[in-house]
A = this chain, B = another copy of it.
Amino acid sequence: MSDLFIRRVTALGHGRCDVLIQDGRIARIGSLAAPPDVEVLDGAGQVLLPGFVDAHSHLDKSLLGRPWYRREPSRDLQRMLADERDLRRSPDWDYEQQIGTNVDVLIASGVTHTRAFVDVDTDAGLRGLEAMLAIKHRYADALTIHVVAFAQSGVSGRPGTAELLDQALANGADCIGGIDPCLVERDPVAHLDLVFGLAQRHGSAVDIHLHEPGPLGAFSASLIIERTRATGLGGKVVISHPDFLGGIPAGQASALIEQLVDAGVAVTTNVSAGDPKPPLREMLAAGLAVGAGCDGERDSWAPFNRSDMLLKTNQLAWRHGLGTDDELELALRVATTGGAAVMGVTDHGLAPGCRADLVLVPGEVVVEPVVAVPAERTVVKGGAIVSRPGSAILRTPNGEQPRQG
């Protein structure tokens, strides 16, 4: 836990200011004098934001650093799932290397927290999970990772998966990850009862991938809301990919959004390019907790995701037409404090008392980086500078030798 003084920076919600960090937390924000003997970071020409929160990542799927993966046409869901499981069985597959490579990219881009899904299935067993937990601990000083034991290949069709998920949560996963209860599992009540039951037994959070369109997604969401209420898990339940809210009549969507808020169910978007898109403005106006995530960078599914939450903020704003300065700021909040709320992180933000998990990016006003997406980022975690522009992580976890990128 470190001390740091950030001088003359333009901070989200504060304008031009100085920031004093003591013992790894923000002590004061305002027009300040630097105390003696504290490291000073010059913030001139820089914008200060809370660290980005990648509330939906698939670090175990990244093919970064491996040879180019050629994506062929006409692959159906089951084929894509099988292709992905096959990749992980190749003799040269190294979970820790793949996860670590993606983590390095995430940190350098300014991400200080991620909710990381990791596939648990009867092929992979707990190998991905154990690697993810190892990385979580190794990088703890640079990146907060909440690990989700994720039933990517489904539970109902693959006997033994439920037991593996149970074991994953016992071994240290923070969250149980469900999947399309109707379209993949084909028995929504059985799947959701299993997921919520595991969450109750282990005191874990719940995060459910919901790719089901329109009315079908809304139906599954209503079952999730019921179970959230019944189990008292409000505040710990997330629906990932709330695109279905754009595929039902506006009045129904409004009512469902109200129920999500009331039940304490949050949502995380990966900013799909597909239609329809969820009614983001209305979701935010209704007080729904909304986070955003980078999803899987360079995975076998699709080539477009990048592990860069500033780019994701740009895409979120662009896709949802958030073009005024106030709206661009709203997009920044989704990508930072919004994601923190989704993950249940309560001390993230630019206020005294918050952990000093921060990112600095070149910009004249706070929203300019959303437009320009500059590559230069200075990343602060717990008050220590963990990445500077043009370099990989400077202070590797647990005080290991610094690496230069």
Whether the pair B325, A71 counts as a contact (CB closer than 8 A) is: yes
**With the chains together, A297 CA to B362 CA distance in Å?**
18
Known contacts A276-B275, A303-B371, A318-B304; decide if A67 and B325 are in contact (CB<8 Å): no
Is A365 interfacial (CB 8 A cutoff)? yes
Known contacts A304-B318, A318-B304; decide if A368 and B68 are in contact (CB<8 Å): yes
Known contacts A368-B68, A371-B298; decide if A304 and B317 are in contact (CB<8 Å): yes
Whether the pair A70, B304 counts as a contact (CB closer than 8 A) is: no
Is A89 interfacial (CB 8 A cutoff)? no
Q: Chain A interface mostly helix, strand, loop or mixed?
A: loop
Known contacts A73-B326, A321-B273; decide if A304 and B68 are in contact (CB<8 Å): no
Is A91 interfacial (CB 8 A cutoff)? no
A285-324 contact mask (Cβ, 8 Å, vs B): 1 or 0: 0000000000000100011101000000010011111011
Total contacting residues, chain A, CB less than 8 A = 36
B residues less than 8 Å from A328 (CB atoms): 303
Residue from A274, A298, A317, A325 with most neighbouring chain B CB atoms (10 Å): A325
B residues less than 8 Å from A303 (CB atoms): 323, 328, 367, 370-371
Closest beta carbon of chain B to A139's beta carbon, Å? 23
Is A375 interfacial (CB 8 A cutoff)? yes
B residues less than 8 Å from A68 (CB atoms): 364-365, 368
Is A76 interfacial (CB 8 A cutoff)? no
Q: 21 pairs across A/B with beta carbons < 8 Å?
A: A70-B365, A71-B323, A71-B324, A71-B325, A72-B325, A73-B327, A273-B319, A274-B321, A275-B275, A275-B277, A298-B371, A302-B323, A303-B328, A303-B367, A303-B370, A304-B314, A304-B318, A304-B323, A304-B371, A306-B372, A375-B375
Top 3 A-B residue pairs of the complex, sorted by shortest distance between their CB atoms: A303-B371, A304-B318, A71-B324
